[in-house]
């Protein structure tokens, strides 16, 4: 067979059209479709005009792949006239994605769908789903998705899940949505897997409530008290003072001091009951007898101050909590939309920072504060977006922050290990206000570079560096020399520390490890006391092609949107489409660069440079419809920056 292929290749390369056709047919039988299409395309260019519909379709695909859409259309139409469904499907793609003639696309999708092509059924449904070339009609979309799903079309199965998840054209049904998404996930659809994970996260509060209820039914007073708190604050459930009171009473009957304390607050402020300061005092006294310190403090206030002042203070505290949670939710929602595919990271960091602020506002003792503040470790490659996220969160929470690389203290052989310079920089960011700086955020990047190994040149430095870092994470007072002869005291107890590292030799196989296995592997090379200070290990996966595609089309920091803004300076519009080869090819290029959003920005920096003369001197709009590689060859003379 190899000898036959070699002989045909020699004849084909000499320009023999029959040899090209025979070679293409052999390659097609061997399932080497890309090579087969190449020789079919060559034969067509040299005069081949007739053949069976499969060969015509293959020639059309060959020209389609090379973006010679006019020739592709010609051959697809030949094959379609002979009943080839694949040709009809690709005519639909061509009209839909390239020419944006949705009515013509709809016509060809319908023809292929009638002949049983599941991809055509899905794409026809998608036209109705998006309202392209048809009236927006989720019911008709659902009908075509169901037909395609019956034939095992993964995209159709995914979108049926989305219809039920969002209540588009059907009654919202999370259970049905989950069933469809699970089917899609089983077929390997990553979007379905992510949506299922998101649904699981959203279901988690309810599962927590159910677990508390189960424990409470078995007589667990702490679970009863926690249920009371859920209803008292309206966290994960609808706020309900009467239900809160009922659970607190059950827990109090079992001697739960915390529940007695909350009952006192209910009677003191009239939460669902008539105010009764005497009952409030009785509840606080019972809680205080059982060692509840907060109850003791409240008793002292009630005895030393008038009722009105206590009322105003507590009502204000409750109001502040509710306002703070509302602000937190808005921050998470806003930044999750901005940082596409980083919603989990945004939520984790925002929750940690918010919790840290609450702890600082509640306690004064530095040791108590450090015990109640979590230090997260973020595992992320360069360009993952962690610094940008923390920067925006710091601005939202109005906190100063600094970001430093720990490797700078070791690779340079810096024997002084003067990490204290970090706090001096933090004070500068806080405009010289030490108290504000003490509540700031410090990102310690390249945490993986300070592990203790057998390298004698760094082992000693890293051991000392870990010891000093541990002392800051545990909370201590340090004296900083801000200028010669002048020192100030700085307390690290209230600082939010965020550790980051790539851990490349481990994260390459991240998918093969459980979270506990990952923690164990990462912990090698660190003193146990230091690693014990890490409360959360969070992995930021690399951006996928789909992530880059969504960033370009939907994120407020999309480099494409910024390029559009740049072009508007010169009165030029940018003509492109999510369906064009351009967007997809840029996403593919970004995956190759593997530099996150920074990589996308570099790509558009190239594009801006290539089109700069057109912007300044040209009279027409900027058309970005071809692939990035084609634009680079045309405008960038094939150069890569």
Note the helical H segments in 254-342. 257-269, 277-289, 293-304, 307-338
Q: Helices in 431-558 by DSSP H: which ranges?
A: 434-437, 456-474, 504-507, 515-523, 528-531, 545-554
Pick the CATH number of 329-539 from 3.40.50.1820, 3.40.50.300, 3.30.70.141, 3.40.50.150: 3.40.50.300
Comparing 138-147, 179-188, 449-458, which segment has the lowest mean pLDDT? Answer: 449-458
Q: State the architecture of 545-635 in CATH terms.
A: Orthogonal Bundle (1.10)
- The DSSP output letter for 452 is -
The answer to whether 155 and 122 are in contact (CB under 8 A) is yes
* Phi, psi at 378, each rounded to 5°: -105, 125
Confidence of residue 602 (pLDDT cuts 50, 70, 90): very high
Q: What is residue 317's predicted lDDT score, i.e. its pLDDT?
A: 47
Q: Mean pLDDT check: name the lowest of 44-58, 212-226, 353-367, 568-582.
A: 44-58
Q: Which pLDDT belongs to residue 108?
A: 92
Answering whether pTM is above 0.75, one says no
Question: pLDDT tens across 2-43, in order?
Answer: 667 777 777 777 677 677 777 777 776 676 767 777 777 677
Q: Are strands 534-539 and 574-575 parallel, antiparallel or unpaired?
A: unpaired
Phi-psi map region of 167: left, alpha, beta (phi>0 left; psi -120 to 50 alpha): left
pLDDT in tens, 475-516: 888 888 877 777 899 999 999 999 998 887 665 555 456 667
Tell me the three state secondary structure of residue 37: helix
**Percent of the chain having pLDDT more than 90?**
22
Cβ 580 vs Cβ 560: under 8 Å: no
Cα 623 to Cα 247: distance, rounded to the nearest angstrom? 65
Each residue of 301-342: pLDDT tens digit? 666 654 444 444 444 444 455 677 888 888 998 898 888 889
Which range (55-64, 430-439, 548-557) has the least confidence? 55-64
Supply the pLDDT for residue 100: 79
Q: Take residue 557 and report the two structure tokens written for it.
A: 């920091």
CATH, domain range 219-304: 1.25.40.10
Q: For residue 374, what pLDDT is reported?
A: 84
Three-class HEC string of 209-227:
HHHHHHHHHCCCHHHHHHH
Q: What are the backbone dihedrals phi and psi of residue 481, each rounded to the nearest 5 degrees, phi first?
A: -95, 95
At 417 the pLDDT is 46
Task: Identify the pLDDT of residue 636.
Answer: 73
Residue 153: pLDDT over 70: yes
pLDDT per position as a tens digit, 264-305: 888 887 887 888 888 888 898 888 888 777 777 777 766 665
Tokens of 451: 């592990």
**The token pair that represents 467 in the structure block:** 């010891």
Q: Residue ranges of the domains in the chain?
A: 219-304, 329-539, 545-635
**∠ CA 383-385-390, rounded to 5°:** 140
Per-residue pLDDT tens for 430-468? 999 999 999 999 999 888 888 887 655 566 667 888 888
Alpha-carbon distance of 518 to 512, in angstroms, equals 9
Lowest mean pLDDT among 143-152, 191-200, 342-351, 562-571: 191-200
Give the C-alpha distances (Å, rounded to integers) separating 594 from 384, 388, 403, 615: 9, 17, 22, 29
Q: Does residue 347 contact residue 333 with C-beta atoms inside 8 Å?
A: no
CA distance 216 to 231: 14
Identical fold for domains 329-539 and 545-635, yes or no, is no
Query: Distance (Å, rounded) from C-alpha 584 to C-alpha 630?
Result: 13
Residues 6+ apart with CB under 8 A from 512: none
Which phi and psi angles does 104 have, rounded to 5°?
-70, -40
In terms of C-beta distances under 8 Å and separation of at least 24 residues, what long-range contacts does 125-133 make, across chains too? 125/156, 125/159, 126/155, 126/159, 127/96, 127/102, 129/159, 129/168, 132/96, 132/102, 132/105, 133/96, 133/101, 133/102, 133/103, 133/104, 133/105, 133/106
Integer angstrom CA distances of residue 496 from 327, 395, 437, 468, 626:
19, 14, 10, 16, 47
What percentage of the chain exceeds 70 in pLDDT?
85
How does pLDDT run across 31-41, given as a tens digit for each residue?
A: 676 777 777 76
Residue that has been written with the tokens 């395309």 in this structure: 41
Q: Is 36 exposed, middle or buried (0-12, 13-18, 19+ CB in 10 A)?
A: buried
pLDDT band at 204 (very low <50, low <70, confident <90, very high): low
């Amino acid at each position: 067979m190899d000898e036959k292929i070699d002989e045909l290749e020699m004849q084909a390369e000499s320009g023999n059209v029959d040899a090209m056709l025979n070679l293409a047919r052999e390659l097609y039988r061997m399932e080497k479709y890309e090579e087969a299409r190449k020789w079919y395309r060559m034969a067509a260019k040299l005069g081949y005009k007739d053949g069976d519909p499969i060969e015509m379709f293959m020639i059309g695909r060959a020209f389609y792949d090379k973006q010679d859409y006019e020739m592709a259309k010609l051959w697809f139409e030949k094959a379609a006239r002979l009943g080839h469904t694949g040709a009809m499907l690709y005519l639909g793609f061509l009209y839909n994605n390239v020419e944006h003639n949705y009515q013509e696309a709809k016509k060809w999708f319908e023809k292929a769908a009638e002949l049983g092509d599941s991809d055509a059924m899905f794409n026809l449904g998608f036209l109705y789903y998006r309202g392209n070339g048809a009236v927006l009609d989720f019911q008709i979309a659902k009908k075509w998705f169901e037909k395609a799903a019956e034939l095992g079309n993964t995209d159709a199965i995914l979108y049926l899940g989305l219809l039920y998840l969002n209540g588009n054209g059907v009654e919202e049904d999370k259970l049905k949505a989950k069933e469809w998404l699970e089917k899609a996930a089983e077929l390997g659809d990553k979007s379905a897997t992510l949506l299922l994970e998101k649904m699981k996260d959203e279901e988690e509060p309810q599962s927590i409530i159910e677990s508390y209820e189960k424990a409470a039914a078995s007589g667990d007073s702490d679970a009863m008290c926690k249920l009371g708190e859920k209803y008292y604050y309206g966290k994960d459930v609808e706020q309900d003072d009467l239900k809160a009171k009922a659970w607190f009473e059950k827990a109090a009957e079992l001697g739960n001091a915390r529940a007695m304390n909350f009952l006192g607050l209910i009677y003191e402020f009239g939460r669902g009951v008539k105010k009764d300061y005497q009952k409030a005092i009785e509840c606080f006294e019972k809680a205080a007898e059982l060692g509840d310190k907060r109850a003791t403090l409240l008793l002292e206030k009630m005895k030393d101050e008038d009722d009105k002042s206590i009322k105003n203070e507590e009502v204000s505290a409750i109001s502040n909590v509710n306002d703070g949670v509302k602000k937190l939710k808005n921050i998470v929602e806003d930044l999750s939309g901005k940082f596409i595919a980083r919603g989990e990271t945004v939520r984790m960091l925002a929750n940690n920072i918010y919790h840290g602020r609450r702890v600082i506002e509640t306690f004064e003792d530095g040791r108590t504060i450090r015990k109640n503040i979590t230090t997260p470790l973020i595992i992320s490659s360069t360009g993952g977006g962690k610094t940008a996220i923390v920067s925006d969160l710091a601005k939202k929470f109005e906190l100063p922050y600094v970001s430093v690389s720990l490797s700078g203290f070791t690779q340079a052989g810096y024997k002084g290990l003067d990490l204290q310079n970090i706090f001096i920089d933090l004070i500068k960011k806080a405009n010289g206000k030490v108290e504000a700086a003490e509540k700031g955020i410090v990102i310690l990047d390249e945490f993986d570079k300070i592990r203790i190994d057998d390298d004698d040149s760094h082992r000693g430095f890293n051991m000392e560096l870990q010891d000093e870092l541990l002392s800051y994470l545990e909370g201590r007072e340090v004296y900083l020399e801000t200028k010669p002869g002048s020192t100030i005291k700085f307390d690290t107890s209230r600082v939010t520390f965020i550790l980051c590292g790539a851990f490349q030799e481990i994260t390459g196989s991240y998918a093969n490890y459980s979270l506990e296995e990952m923690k164990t592997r990462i912990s090698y090379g660190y003193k146990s006391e230091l690693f014990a200070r890490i409360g959360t290990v969070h992995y930021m996966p690399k951006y996928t092609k789909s992530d880059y595609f969504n960033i370009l089309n939907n994120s407020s920091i999309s480099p494409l949107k910024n390029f559009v803004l740049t072009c508007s300076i010169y009165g030029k519009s940018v003509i492109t489409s999510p369906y064009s080869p351009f967007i997809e090819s840029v996403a593919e290029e970004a995956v190759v660069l593997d530099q996150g959003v920074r990589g996308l920005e570099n790509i558009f920096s190239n594009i801006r440079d290539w089109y700069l003369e057109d912007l300044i001197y040209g009279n027409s709009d900027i058309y970005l419809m071809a692939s990035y590689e084609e634009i680079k060859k045309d405008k960038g003379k094939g150069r890569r920056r």
